[in-house]
């Protein structure tokens, strides 16, 4: 078993929450999104958040396909480093924002069920020395997937605690060697007119796009996720590869990425194009600055049944990320 590498950026309390690498095995070239695989250690039982239902999630879930081959949802621990309970697998996979499919959170999962995510390539180019088209099957082999238990805070004031699987984005960026002119990273979601029912409507500018400053993209907390709860991502959560930036509002976590481009200027983004006064480029979680439509002071933890909890500056990752924003006015919506 491989050990988590030491990191100069991430302090120990976050570090501990990642636990050990979960190395996927037996992921073949063909097959369903939930391909047969095994993790290299026996995970702790996964139970529902307190006060709701103490039945292990793995027992109450309906098998989705080929029951003998589908691994059960698993996580190495039941809480994040703040003691917040993991959100149930069922909630994470059935309460989704994925506007290419539906504006209704409960409708995304059934509409996205047959979204084809194999084969899949990710083109990484722009201001780099080694532009590369990565095949997703190679990505699974190339990078050790580790568990990262992160809070996901949506600007709509709901949140989840998700045991992601993935690897730091910097590991992929390192492979393409950004040039000194590269200052930002631009991301693009697949535009699949055949399988994404809403992308033919012109209420938004498609494809979904996002961006990060280069130092944010290189931060060790920023990951590309390939799975959650020990399983491959399902389409509704952004299969096969999505971004996760835990100190920013959830809309930065772009799903089903097909293109990553290193650029010199701050890129236009999907939500910023739609309503710039509502969706800033930075979108760092900040309880003191309300969104025009939603107070950001508190949040509802989906499925936890514990009422509203206080929202934390940078979603609780202040110690790790605040230094990147020195001098920024924290009373202003970015
Ligand atoms: N990515 C794409 N391509 N399309 C989307 O509509 N929604 C964003 C983000 N990534 C979105 C997206 C928003 S608003 C949120 S809150 C998160 O995905 C939700 O992720 P989840 O459905 O896995 O919880």
pLDDT digits (tens, 9 = 90+) for 306-325: 999 999 999 999 999 999 99
- Ligand 1, atom 13, residue with closest C-alpha: 251
Closest CA to 71 of 228, 227, 231, 225: 231
pLDDT, mean of residues 151-170:
98
Average pLDDT of 252-264? 98
Write out the H or E segment, with its range, that includes residue 263.
strand 257-263
The answer to whether residue 154 sits within a structural domain is yes
Lowest-confidence region among 226-230, 273-277, 280-284, 329-333: 329-333
Instruction: Work out how many domains the chain is built from and give that number.
Output: 1
pLDDT of residue 334: 85
Domain-located, residue 56: no
**Protein residue closest via CA to atom 8 of ligand 1:** 251
Its domain, for residue 186, covers: 78-325
* Nearest in space to 285 (alpha carbons), one of 159, 140, 155: 155
* φ/ψ of residue 196, rounded to 5: -110, 100
Q: How far is CA 44 from CA 17, 152, 304, in A?
A: 14, 22, 19
In a domain, 152, yes or no: yes
Phi, psi of 208 (to 5 degrees): -65, 130
Identify whether 245 is part of a domain: yes
Q: How far is the CA of 98 from the centre of ligand 1 (A)?
A: 5
Nearest CA to ligand 1 atom 5: 98
Q: How far apart are CA 298 and CA 310, in angstroms?
A: 4
For residue 236, give the ligand 1 atom closest to its CA.
Answer: 22
pLDDT attached to residue 194:
97
Is residue 8, in this structure, part of any structural domain at all? no
* Structure token digits, residue 288: 């003191």
Residue with CA nearest ligand 1 atom 11: 98
| pTM exceeding 0.85 | no
- Domain of 270: which CATH number? 3.90.420.10
Which of 14-18, 26-30, 138-142 has the highest average model confidence (pLDDT)? Answer: 138-142
Is the bond preceding 119 in cis, omega lying within 30 degrees of 0? yes
The chain-wide mean pLDDT, for the chain, equals 84
- Ligand 1 environment, Cβ below 6 A: 96-100, 152, 154, 189, 208, 237, 250-251, 253-256
CA–CA distance, 294 with 269 (Å, rounded to integer): 20
Separation of CA 236 and ligand 1 centre (Å): 9
Residue 15 domain flag: no
Per-residue burial over 261-291, b = 16 or more CB atoms within 10 Å of its CB, e = otherwise: bbbeeebebbbbeeeeeebbbbbbbbbebeb
- Residue 67, domain member (yes or no): no
Does 126 reside within a domain?
yes
Residue with CA at minimum distance from ligand 1 atom 3? 255
Q: Is the dihedral of CA 128, 133, 139, 141 positive or negative?
A: negative
pLDDT at 44 over 70: no
């Amino acid at each position: 078993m491989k050990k988590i590498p030491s990191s100069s950026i991430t302090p120990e309390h976050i570090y501990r929450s990642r636990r050990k690498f979960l190395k996927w095995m037996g992921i073949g070239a063909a097959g369903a999104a939930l391909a047969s695989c095994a993790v290299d250690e026996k995970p702790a039982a996964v139970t529902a958040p307190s006060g709701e239902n103490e039945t292990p999630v793995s027992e109450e879930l309906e098998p989705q396909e080929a029951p003998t081959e589908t691994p059960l949802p698993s996580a190495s621990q039941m809480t994040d480093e703040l003691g917040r309970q993991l959100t149930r697998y069922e909630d994470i996979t059935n309460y989704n924002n994925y506007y290419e499919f539906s504006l209704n959170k409960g409708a995304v999962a059934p509409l996205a069920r047959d979204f084809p995510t194999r084969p899949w390539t990710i083109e990484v180019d722009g201001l780099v020395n080694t532009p590369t088209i990565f095949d997703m099957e190679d990505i699974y082999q190339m990078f050790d997937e580790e568990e990262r238990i992160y809070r996901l805070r949506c600007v709509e004031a709901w949140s989840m605690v998700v045991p992601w699987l993935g690897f730091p984005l910097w590991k992929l960026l390192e492979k393409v060697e950004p040039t000194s002119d590269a200052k930002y990273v631009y991301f693009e979601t697949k535009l699949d007119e055949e399988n994404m029912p809403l992308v033919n409507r012109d209420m938004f500018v498609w494809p979904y796009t996002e961006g990060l400053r280069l130092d944010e993209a290189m931060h060790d907390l920023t990951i590309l996720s390939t799975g959650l709860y020990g399983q491959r991502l399902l389409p509704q959560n952004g299969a096969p590869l999505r971004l996760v930036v835990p100190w920013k509002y959830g809309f930065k976590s772009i799903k089903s990425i097909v293109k990553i481009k290193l650029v010199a200027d701050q890129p236009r983004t999907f939500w910023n194009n739609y309503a710039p006064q509502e969706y800033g480029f930075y979108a760092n979680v900040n309880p003191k600055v309300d969104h025009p439509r939603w107070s950001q002071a508190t949040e509802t933890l989906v499925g936890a049944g514990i009422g509203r909890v206080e929202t934390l500056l940078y979603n609780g990752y202040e110690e790790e990320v605040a230094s990147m924003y020195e001098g920024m006015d924290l009373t202003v919506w970015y």
